Amino acid sequence: MNRESARSGYDGNPVAIVTGAASGIGRAIALRLAQEGFAVAAWDCDEDTLRIAVAEDGAQIDRSLSPGSLHDFSVDIGLDEEVDLALAQVIDRHGIPQVVVNNAGIMRRRSIAETDAEEFRFVLDVNLIGTYRVLRAAAKLWLEAGVGGHIINISSGHAVLSTRDRAAYAASKAALESLTRNAALEFGPDGILVNAVAPGFTAGTAMTRNTLVGERAEKVARRVPIGRVGTPAEVAETVLALAQGRIPYMTGQTLRCDGGWAGSDVDAAWR
């Protein structure tokens, strides 16, 4: 099979894995993919919240318009055995996934002086090593099966901006974008495209729920070039374009879905 058109080797509805799918951006991505016909394996370590999200969002899918579906999998991406087991279960129930969205991540807002090495390592373990674990498992699967696929890593504007009290998070996301480029180089000849999407300030997520409020939210909105913060649904649309293969000649890139924030002085609003 021609590697460049490897995805044509899949049968039936497309299958996608979305990590960190219980809330916020991950939840929005999972729903949007399902609405467009994907069988979505929603992964998260918060089993109860994930189950509720999948039940609520599954009810929103119009079966007359889309054959898509949502399925919850309790997975801790910090553990090799859980990733391997969940991937095997996805294959058994739905077939080989064509798309993997690495969205799971955490933030700790502390200064460098207040962040010890253990906590710094914990953030990297989730945001970078966890993503690497899922990326590697998916790539090995596709290489062995002789098919291509799409890996979409969720980064952040903090990967390229210096901001207060986010050194561990920023370092993890900068490393993630480097991993994206290196993986794209390695797997491109095998029909595996690896890109990243970097949201800016996005309302309605665990990371912004208590910070993008009131006067502070208004200050941030004024400094974003398009004049407002983003929504999880807008990030999901960007991911959908990549997942559907609508940008076939792009790999190793980071799409900044941030209203122009990464190129502005929005951080001044947080001083």
Neighbours of 56 (CB within 10 A): 12
* Residue 10 designated active-site: no
Neighbours of 81 (CB within 10 A): 8
- Whether 29 contacts 103, CB under 8 Å: yes
| Cα–Cα dist 257/260, whole Å | 8
Phi, psi of 156 (to 5 degrees): -165, 155
Which is catalytic among the residues 10, 173, 219, 249?
173
Which is catalytic among the residues 10, 132, 140, 169?
169
Gyration radius from the chain CA atoms: 18
Secondary structure of the chain in HEC code, one letter for each residue? CCHHHHHHHCCCCCEEEEECCCCHHHHHHHHHHHHCCCEEEEEECCHHHHHHHHHHHHCCCCCCCCCCEEEEEECCCCCHHHHHHHHHHHHHHHCCCCEEEECCCCCCCECCCCCCHHHHHHHHHHHHHHHHHHHHHHHHHHHHHCCCEEEEEECCHHHCCCCCCEHHHHHHHHHHHHHHHHHHHHHHHHCEEEEEEEECCECCCCCCCCCCCHHHHHHHHHHCCCCCCECHHHHHHHHHHHHCCCCCCCCCCEEEECCCHHHCCHHHHHC
* Residue 173 designated active-site: yes
Give catalytic residue positions.
Answer: 169, 173
